[in-house]
Copies of this chain bind each other. A is one copy, B any other.
Amino acid sequence: MNTEASLARGQILARGTSRCLLDLGFACVAEMPLRPRLRADLMALGRKGEVWIIECKSSRADFMSDRKWEGYLDWCDRYFWAVDRDFPMDLLPEGTGLFIADGYGAELLREAPHRALAPARRKSLMLDFARVAAQRLQSRLDPGMPRAGLI
């Protein structure tokens, strides 16, 4: 139920959160496909292969319309929300991490519990992340390239 406006606001939060994650030593991919009909707003990959997922919520309505967040817990070591400072934070469930973000940066307000991925899933996620990031980069660097092979 993302309206155009809330989607754009979510992407703005994702940008600021990505900057913060870079400072924390993570590389990020936005709108990372996990399986059919499940995409992470941000997936972040640490220096040791840690996988974090961050869902960006721009408003109460945006949060309330999305009940699939527990599905992300199986795809990361730690799970976070990114919201702006006006977001009603008492909505957010316990046992999740929290970034406060705007378009220019973010702050890690609450660390998320750690639940380690199984090694096989970590390996396949890392491969998917690598290929998605590289193919998106290639399409930016070489706009004339054929698109058929994109994952």
A interface residue numbers (CB < 8 A to B): 15, 18-19, 22-23, 25, 27-30, 45, 47, 49, 104, 123, 126-127, 129-138, 140-142, 144-146, 148-151
Contacts and interface: CB of A to CB of B under 8 A. Distances in A.
Given A136-B137, A140-B140, A23 B146 contact: yes
Given A45-B127, A126-B127, A134 B19 contact: no
A145 B19 contact: yes
Copies in the complex: 2
A136 B150 CA distance: 18
Given A130-B129, A133-B137, A136-B137, A146 B27 contact: no
A131 B47 CA distance: 8
